[in-house]
Amino acid sequence: MDNEARSVAPDRQKQLQNKVKEYRADLASLKEQLQKARSSTSDFESGRAELGLGMDYASSSSAQRDRMLSATAKLEQSDERLKQGKQLLAETEDLGAGILQNLHSQRETIVRSRDTLHGADDNITKARKILSSMSKRMLQNKLIMFGIIGTLLAAIILIIYFKTK
């Protein structure tokens, strides 16, 4: 649950980590109460002897019953807190799984976009090369055309010159 709380968005992360701390504190107190309850049951025989030394059996039984009801109530509250904690943990796990799936789909989208961009870049490079070669051919054609025009003009001028002479 702690790992899940660390992996959520920063705005919810502190809130979830505080809840995790609360649950840990509750768990520690419940363990402590359980140890006390276990130690008290192991001292049951000695406690019984103490009760018989001057206390009335009915009043001691009533006090024990009250303590037992109080302990049962505390255990029920603790059990409810644990159930809520488990429910929150399940919700957090579902949220984390949803976030991971979303991140995975976003990663796939980015990878596809990158591949498409590389393809477009390759096409642009090819187009640039083709335009460059077309430009060179156009320049060559212009030079040839000017050469032919110049030759024709020179020939016309020579013909006119020789005819007028």
What is the rounded average pLDDT of the residues 93-118? 94
How sure is the predictor about 61, in pLDDT bands with cuts at 50, 70 and 90? confident
102 by DSSP, 3-state: which? helix
How sure is the predictor about 58, in pLDDT bands with cuts at 50, 70 and 90? low
Distance, in Å, from the CA atom of 60 to the CA atom of 140, rounded to the nearest integer, reads 118
* 114 has pLDDT over 80: yes
* 54 has pLDDT over 50: no
Distance, in Å, from the CA atom of 24 to the CA atom of 32, rounded to the nearest integer, reads 12
Q: Could you tell me what percent of the chain has a pLDDT over 70? A: 83
More confident: 133 or 46: 133
> Which of 59-63, 75-79, 93-97, 141-145 shows the lowest mean pLDDT across its residues?
59-63
**Residue 75, C-beta contacts closer than 8 angstroms, at least 6 positions apart:** 33
pLDDT in the model for residue 41 = 63
